[in-house]
A and B are shown apart, each in its own frame.
Chain A
Amino acid sequence: MEFVASHLLTLILFLPALTAIVILFLPRARVGLIRGVAFAASLVPLGLSIWLWLAYDAAHSGYQFVEQADWYRAVGSSYHLGVDGLSVPMVLLTTLLTPLALLISWSIAENVRSYMALFLMLETGMLGVFLTIDLLLFFVFWEIGLIPMYFLINQWGSANREYASFKFLIYTMAGSLGLLLAIQLIGVASRTFDLQEISVLWSGLREPLTLLGLPITLSVGTVKAIAFWAFVIAFAIKVPIWPFHTWLPDAHTEAPTAGSMILAGVLLKLGAYGFLRLVLPLYPVEAKTYAGALGLLAVLAIIFGAFAAWGQEDFKRLVAYSSVNHMGFVVLGIAAAAYARGTLAAPDAVIALNGAVLQMFNHGLSAAGMFLLVGVIYDRTHTRDLRSFGGLFPLAPVYGGILIFTSMASLGLPGLNGFVSEFLVVRGVWPIFTVYTALAMIGLLVTGAYIMRGVGMVLHGPLNPKWADHSLEINRREIAAIGPLMALMLWIGVWPAWILGVINKTVLHLFG
């Protein structure tokens, strides 16, 4: 117990990877065993992160549960883990969504062993990004998260998977290159990769930089500018910010259900997390200069994301575009905070950031839930075409109720989670970017339109006779997978203080 308590983060981080290795040695034909082991093992990190959540002390600012060990001393990089109020909710979200995604993956029939192993590797990759406070490790985990997802889409996706997975890989790789460059520059300039040390050193850095003894010297300003833009582009692609978003509808639509859940639920958050963890703290000046442009792109994402979702005929594509719309609010909050830092509007910035972080968590719940539900109906009908549904409510009343509930959470109905975060973002951004906030309302209006369209075309209307003797109702396993998400949606909607209190303390400490 003593060991577990002192190595909590390491255990959460590496148990999934360990399980992945174990699974590779299980007999290929024992599909049931493989599923069972993968699912059961993914519950352990969940249990540990609930423990982490309960043991985390919100009143204490700074990183907690810190672990540090030598790793790569020559370049000043160490194995350094820690969590604060930004990462704790993300860790909880990741470890929660993984078992649920595995539970929904029972419908995967081919190559189950590799599928499960890849999925668990993916979990380690994502967790690493949230847990590490060393930039080199950050990059390593960032890439570890990318590759399994490529294979999940490429091997287990639907018809157009080759194109989608390739697009996803190239797009993200393009971002990663800049990320690597920026991290190297920072590392060379400050002679360490440790984020805590960098945040202290970075702002005091004055010496021009000589690269590898070459006769080129870069002024600190240039280094910072290059690193800033490299970060911004990498994270902007991941979030995704309009117009870097077109990989998303393809990747989400072609990925297997569980893949889409994780993709929308967690992977997109990596980008937003990068903004919060690296861009805002390390580049306050640059971020402030370009905050207006970032805010504009966020508003465009909100508006165009909503309109594009409304224009889809494919149910899954509709949900995919809704992510662009919802993540736009996260970025809008971040942009406003970047702009208002150090001014009179700083309390507004804190509110906006609270909203942005909570929106990351909330979107993780509702997007994962929506993809799950799309997957459920796809499993039974083998189509995602909205026009071929219609009138399914009496055939699947429980499914219908759950779909309406989840859609409403996604729409931001007050009383459910999405409202709280969107309201906080709107409230925080209004005094800072008044016009942007007003424009974002167009997106909010159209959000209603696409949700109504999705729900209406699936559940309402005269019954398409094709489905009359199909059994479409959601089964117990699937209900078990979405149940926890629904409970959280309601809980956060009714009593947001339990999670917002944690976020608020850290945001106040970092940006207040």
Chain B
Amino acid sequence: MRPEILSWLIPLPPILSFFLIVLFAHRSNRLSHTIAVGAMLISWALAMSVFILALSVERLGEHPLASSIAWLPTAGTALHIGVLIDPLGAVTLFFVAWTCLAIFVYSVGYHNFGSPRDNEDVPGLPPRAGGIEPMYARFFAFISLFAFGMLTLVVSDNLLTLFIGWEIMGLCSYLLIGFWYAKESARKAMVKAFMTTRVGDVFMLLGLAYLYSVTGTLSYRAIFSGPVLERLAASPSVVAGLSIAGLIGLLLFLGTVGKSAQWPLHVWLPDAMEGPTPVSAMIHAATMVSAGVYLILRFFPLITAGWYEGQALTPTMWVIAAIGAFTALFAATIAVTQNDIKRVLAYSTISQLGYMVAAVGIGAFVAAAFHLITHAFFKALLFLGSGSVIHGVEHGAHATHEHIDANDMRNMGGLRRKMPITFWAFVAGGLALSGFPLVTAGFWSKDEILGHAYETGQVWVFGALVLAALLTALYTGRQITLTFLGGPRSSAAEHARESVPTMTIPLVILAVFAVGAGWLGIADDFPVLGGVLPNWFHAFVGGTLLEEPAATHFNAVPVLASVLAALGGLFLGWLVYRRVRAEQADPLVGPLGPVYTLLQRKYYFDELYSFAFVRPAYWFAETFTSRWLDRVVIDGILHGIGRFALRVGSFLRNVIDLPIINGSGDMVGEGVKRGGRGLRWIQTGRVQFYLVVGLLFAGLVLSYTLAIRP
């Protein structure tokens, strides 16, 4: 079959699985996960075949696998949608397929498949004591839809279907973060995630409309042609100081800020921990947040239109670089003080995404893509690992009837003996995250970003990222030490046990990638190692762009900085936290003082947003718009008109109708009646009376004619 047709098919199995489970299989747990995992396996196989086919294409960037159809008739033409597999798409497809599959398999064990349903469990709350999840089938339906969204986004050849996948993931994250919706915190988190990302999305929609208006198309290949980009970069936009390309780039980037949780829209991601752990892995590694970075990588030609390597950054690039670098550092400081094992990872995700965003901002396309992929592998690994840890500790808590927060690292310790596979996998992920030199993937990708920043003279970006790297290693060292090393600090940790194979096997597979994925992108001029393995990644992914970017040259300063930051941070983390005992305050509380509280409360951003945006907006909705404007002002005017009409009516009746019209009418009637009544006495009906009257009358007439008028 032709590879383009295969690409069309990649997203289909998960969406079919979603509908099959919802319509027919929601009563059977086994059937639902068989369908979901089976569908994902088919998608994975399709994705791998397409990936391999794509590898065999000579100069894939110029001759991508592509096909499209007319979708939307508009005026004289039509909007086309279709699929496109170019180098960037191919490598993204590769990691998405692998991580999604790992997460799907892991979910089977995570939701305690095989255990009986605990009758005290209710839908909407996590199982209390190792019983199977009451909404097991629903979970698999939702993550299937999630995978569909991401795969659609990756194979798209245009911004419109990318946006469709993007928003479907928004819905899935909403549904899955709030999977245990009976928890107040989960309920808040689901709405927060949806609304915060939607802020970015509406800007992105404007960017879409703008781009479509000025180019008449949304497909990448048409937009990223030289003349179109030159025109967009040369014409000024509606906002002063920005070219059209720059403004569209910024609008699209705001979508990334929402989806990839960059400051100032980062607040939703840590709360997204409320969902089941496979969901966290899905959001943090395989899908959502990667989609945001994928978007700016995809639109790299547009964002950097009018900029050439070696020149000063355009305003748009400057904003992107600044937000990325700031977020990388900012989130890392928060991560150091968090005690929830997943929350540390959440902030670390925000921070690592900041690296990628900053890399795009300074024009390091390949480095950003490289870090996106290595990060996806090691972060999926870390999340699934933390889920395994929590599972183990929860098992211990249930066995010992101890009531503790199973997510809190202060209740852990010494788990390396209880959960060896999880431990080693987690260490592999943690070292990759902190950029442990030479062996881990994270080192190579992070080093490439640092090297690029240094080489292009972006000193402040470089400085912020190195500092963030130190903090990253520090909190990773702290996390590994608190969780796995030392002795157990609760009896639950003492009675923890290793997770089932459906959970540990995905961990092992991801660990292999977390270490090995970096070896494909070792710079050619790196001492000793350089050239042993070819820098395949740069050659392949760099081909996505029209002009292949130059590889970063080896420079000792960034490499040394990176090595020192990683080793120093890890060591420091171990040194400070190796002897923490139960109930003891964090060793950093003393030296940091109020700063520690500030960090632990996440710089009070949640409180600030609630005070500055959410509450005023709701007041505006509830009190101003619906109560004052509609009921008091507009309805008031209407009721006023109504009352006025009523008053005019009653005036007409009481002042004109009743006295004058009725009055005169009545007067005629009444007058006649009264006259009649007055004359009644003469109509007696007695003949004698009439004769007397006649006599009198005759007398009167006679007297008149005879006496008065002679």
Contacts and interface: CB of A to CB of B under 8 A. Distances in A.
Given A347-B76, A393-B181, A497-B72, A426 B618 contact: no
A434 interface: yes
Contact of B194 (A431, A441, A448): A448
B22 A401 contact: yes
A452 B191 contact: yes
Contact of B625 (A311, A444, A508): A311
Contact of B75 (A419, A445, A450, A512): A512
**Which of B70, B76, B168, B198 is most buried by chain A, counting CB atoms within 10 A of its CB?**
B198
A240 B187 CA distance: 34
A393 B123 contact: yes
A326 to B, nearest CB: 16
Given A311-B627, A391-B182, A431-B213, A449 B195 contact: yes
B635 interface: yes
Interface string A317-358: 000010000000000000000000000000110110010000
Contacts of A243: 634
Interface residues of B, number: 59
Contact of B198 (A245, A312, A321, A448): A448
Given A347-B76, A414-B164, A310 B638 contact: no
Interface string B630-646: 10001100100010000
Given A445-B199, A508-B75, A460 B181 contact: yes
Interface string B55-86: 00000000000000011111110100000000
Given A310-B621, A394-B124, A437 B627 contact: no
A347 B75 CA distance: 6
Given A350-B74, A420-B72, A308 B625 contact: yes
Interface in A413-441: 413-415, 419-420, 423-424, 426-427, 430-431, 434, 437-438, 441
Contact of A504 (B74, B166, B182, B623): B74
A437 B251 CA distance: 14
B224 interface: no
B271 interface: no
B596 to A, nearest CB: 34
B103 to A, nearest CB: 22
A391 B190 CA distance: 15
Interface string B153-193: 00000001001101110010011001001101001001100
B621 A427 contact: no
B209 interface: yes
Nearest to A462: B182
A456 interface: yes
A452 B625 contact: no
B122 interface: yes
Interface string A248-280: 010000000000000000000000000000000
A430 B213 contact: yes
| A interface, over-half SS | helix
Contact of B206 (A394, A401, A441): A441
B160 to A, nearest CB: 8
Given A347-B75, A347-B76, A307 B620 contact: yes
A408 B209 contact: no
B621 A311 contact: yes
A348 B75 CA distance: 8
A350 B75 contact: yes
Contacts of B22: 401
Contacts of A351: 74-75
A307 B168 contact: no
Contacts of B205: 423, 426, 441, 444
Nearest to B187: A460
B206 A426 contact: yes
Of the listed residues A167, A348, A397, A456, the one surrounded by the most CB atoms of chain B closer than 10 A to its CB is: A456
Contacts of A347: 74-76
B210 interface: yes
Interface string B616-629: 01101111111101
25 contacts: A246-B635, A249-B630, A304-B625, A308-B629, A310-B622, A311-B618, A350-B74, A351-B74, A413-B167, A419-B167, A423-B205, A423-B209, A426-B205, A427-B212, A437-B209, A441-B203, A441-B205, A452-B191, A456-B187, A459-B181, A460-B182, A461-B187, A463-B182, A497-B73, A504-B74
Interface of B: 22, 26, 70-76, 78, 122-124, 160, 163-164, 166-168, 171, 174-175, 178, 181-182, 184, 187, 190-191, 194-195, 198-199, 202-203, 205-206, 208-210, 212-213, 238, 617-618, 620-627, 629-630, 634-635, 638, 642
- 4 shortest A-B CB distances, which residue pairs? A311-B622, A414-B164, A311-B621, A311-B626
